[in-house]
Structure 1
Amino acid sequence: MTSVFRRVALIGKYQPQGARAHDPVMDEIGDFLSAQGCEVVLEQSSAGCGDAAVPPRACRHPVMSVEEIGEQCDLGLVVGGDGTMLGIGRQLAPFGVPLIGINRGRLGFITDIALDEYQDALRPMLAGEYDEDHRSLIQASVMRDGQSVFEAVAMNDVVVNRGATSGMVELRVSVGKAFVANQRADGLIIATSTGSTAYALSAGGPLLHPSIPGWIMVPIAPHTLSNRPILLPDAEEVTIEVVNDRDASANFDMQSLASLRQGDRIVVRRSDFHVRFLHPRGWSYFDTLRRKMHWNKGDN
């Protein structure tokens, strides 16, 4: 069988076992891709070839940086958990490289192919039989005295949190030109549909289907119980201003700005790019929710 993807990048968290220089799982998947007619390359950090214990000549496939993968590869195969996919998805989104996720982590909401089923799932996908799913990204900036002091892209969420030893943080929230409210809470989450199954869910937010062009705004332990999660259109900018100075911090997926000051504004807008996920033919978002959330478990 000839793959419709000529060059495939293998991306994952390098996990050598014992005295072995190679990660046997990554090696096995790389060999499988080669057997399907793909030219396999390894993402630099995934290869482990940057480790002094693993000289470059020991790498079984050519090694590329993320930028080189974006420019030269037809597909990224991500082996790991959702955190691995979040990181590479943000970086490859501007290049439009599609991604397939093989779950080597725990939950696997966006790395949805089970490790022990990857061969059966990948064979038809590599032949062109797959469903495509696009996920939006957040572009966020921290503005201070009219200047941007931090910028980041997030696939899951933007979170403003109170300091570790402080009381509630007070935040002034606007959507577009409209003032929404002053929020007094432990923090505030602006989440994409992808992030609706992450921190926002544990804070009481709703699940948001990926086809809906919106974000959810979820207060964390709000002072007023009537302060509830709200669905917002992602065509409008959301501005979060720090009203009081309580050692608040901002987090953009796994990228953090440790300290915010009174008057700082976190400006959130829809990114110009999106992440392309490929799934086995017949994939359903609701199937993923049932499986990962254990809905109907025990029902006949």
Structure 2
Amino acid sequence: MNRIGILHHPKVAASQPLAAQIEQWLAAHQIATWQASSHDEQRLAELVPTADLLVVLGGDGSLLRAARYSSVCRVPIFGINLGRVGFLCEAQPDEWPEKLTKVLAGDSWVENRLMLAARIQRNDRILHTFSVLNDVVVGRGRQARVVRFQLHVDSDHVTDYTADALIVATPTGSTAYSMAAGGPLLPPQLPNFVVVPVAPHLTFDRAIIFHEQAEIAITVQMDHQAYLTPDGTDGILLENEDVVYITKSENDCQFARVESRGYFYRRLMGRLGYSR
């Protein structure tokens, strides 16, 4: 590796001192570096394509932000957890020298994770497009009122929902909001995604798993506010009869891993408090 980007979190006090420490450590290994805030979208768009690896300091949210840029140019991410959960991170703050040494030595492997592409269509016009690693959530706004959804897959009508929201999640996102809403846990190797209703009322209440080539279409029907929220970022206001199309993205997100290939289950149980 010739150049490594280091992304620090602007709102985490420990992030920038740790970034400086890692930069010094990499310089001692004759590796060029650059630093940027994980919230600085302009610099990320410019700098990420120049890196061979991204070291991301923060929680899962920081890695989701980085994934939007790294997936396009296939730059692997090495996450150091400074957040609360850290499902996606490969190292804790006291582990990074040992694990990053293995990455630099080639004693690691690259994990590919499926991403989703979403677009909002209104009256035959595309308004917004998104790429997400976790999930797309289509749901109600400030008012505690349900939204009606029509679900089509590959142009065929599947079912209608009356619910607070619908979550369309990747295997990565299956451990996030989808899990909290009762959805299944999908290992990251699966090429599937899942639709999970949130608080469905007198309607179909099961999660449905779809194959990677499926095209999901969600038509929103309401007389109040509803939003589309990609990967937990700021929501986009929807109007009645807007259609949200979701497919597999052309790009995968890559993670540099040094743990065994079965790490997911061990880490999951540990984060949930069930490890021995």
TM-score normalized with structure 1 length: 0.86
Distance 1:40 1:244, change over 3 A: same
The match for 1:40 among 33, 36, 41 is: 33
Matches within 5 A, 1:220-259: 220-224=198-202, 226-259=204-237
Corresponding position: 1:7 with 2:25: no
Asked if 1 retains the 8 angstrom alpha-carbon contact of 2:8 and 2:16, the reply is no
Aligned-partner residue type, residue 38 of structure 1: I
Aligned-partner residue type, residue 23 of structure 1: Q
Partner in structure 2 of residue 292 of structure 1: 271
Corresponding position: 1:280 with 2:262: no
Could you tell me how far apart the structure 2 residues matched to 1:145 and 1:166 are? 27
Asked if 2 retains the 8 angstrom alpha-carbon contact of 1:193 and 1:210, the reply is yes
Corresponding position: 1:95 with 2:73: yes
Compute the displacement of 1:112 (Å): 2.7
1:197-254 CA-to-partner distances (Å, cap 9, x unmatched) read: 1111110111111111111110000013652111111211100001233311110113
Matches within 5 A, 1:172-251: 172-224=150-202, 226-251=204-229
1:147-177 CA-to-partner distances (Å, cap 9, x unmatched) read: 0112111111010111322421100001112
Distance 1:145 1:194, change over 3 A: same
Asked if 2 retains the 8 angstrom alpha-carbon contact of 1:131 and 1:278, the reply is yes
Q: What secondary structure is seen at the aligned counterpart in 2 of 1:116? A: coil
Compute the displacement of 1:259 (Å): 2.1
Distance 1:72 1:17, change over 3 A: closer
Matches within 5 A, 1:43-82: 43=36, 45=37, 65-82=43-60
Could you tell me how far apart the structure 1 residues matched to 2:38 and 2:197 are? 36
Asked if 2 retains the 8 angstrom alpha-carbon contact of 1:129 and 1:281, the reply is no
Distance 1:207 1:47, change over 3 A: closer
Asked if 2 retains the 8 angstrom alpha-carbon contact of 1:10 and 1:76, the reply is yes
Alignment size in residue pairs: 274
Asked if 2 retains the 8 angstrom alpha-carbon contact of 1:143 and 1:266, the reply is yes
Asked if 1 retains the 8 angstrom alpha-carbon contact of 2:8 and 2:38, the reply is yes
Compute the displacement of 1:261 (Å): 1.2
Partner in structure 2 of residue 158 of structure 1: 136
Distance 1:260 1:16, change over 3 A: closer
Distance 1:154 1:47, change over 3 A: closer
Asked if 2 retains the 8 angstrom alpha-carbon contact of 1:172 and 1:183, the reply is yes
Compute the displacement of 1:46 (Å): 5.6
Aligned-partner residue type, residue 264 of structure 2: Y
Could you tell me how far apart the structure 2 residues matched to 1:83 and 1:172 are? 30
Asked if 2 retains the 8 angstrom alpha-carbon contact of 1:152 and 1:255, the reply is no
Which stretch has the larger CA shift, 183-192 or 116-125?
116-125
Asked if 2 retains the 8 angstrom alpha-carbon contact of 1:158 and 1:189, the reply is yes
Residue segments in structure 2 that go unaligned for 5+ positions in a row: none
Aligned-partner residue type, residue 289 of structure 1: L
Could you tell me how far apart the structure 2 residues matched to 1:262 and 1:196 are? 28
Distance 1:134 1:46, change over 3 A: closer
Residue segments in structure 1 that go unaligned for 5+ positions in a row: 49-63
Partner in structure 2 of residue 57 of structure 1: none
Identity of aligned residues (%): 30
Aligned-partner residue type, residue 92 of structure 2: A
Distance 1:264 1:246, change over 3 A: same
Asked if 1 retains the 8 angstrom alpha-carbon contact of 2:167 and 2:197, the reply is yes
Asked if 2 retains the 8 angstrom alpha-carbon contact of 1:16 and 1:24, the reply is no
Aligned-partner residue type, residue 183 of structure 1: Y
Corresponding position: 1:27 with 2:24: no
Q: What secondary structure is seen at the aligned counterpart in 2 of 1:240? A: strand
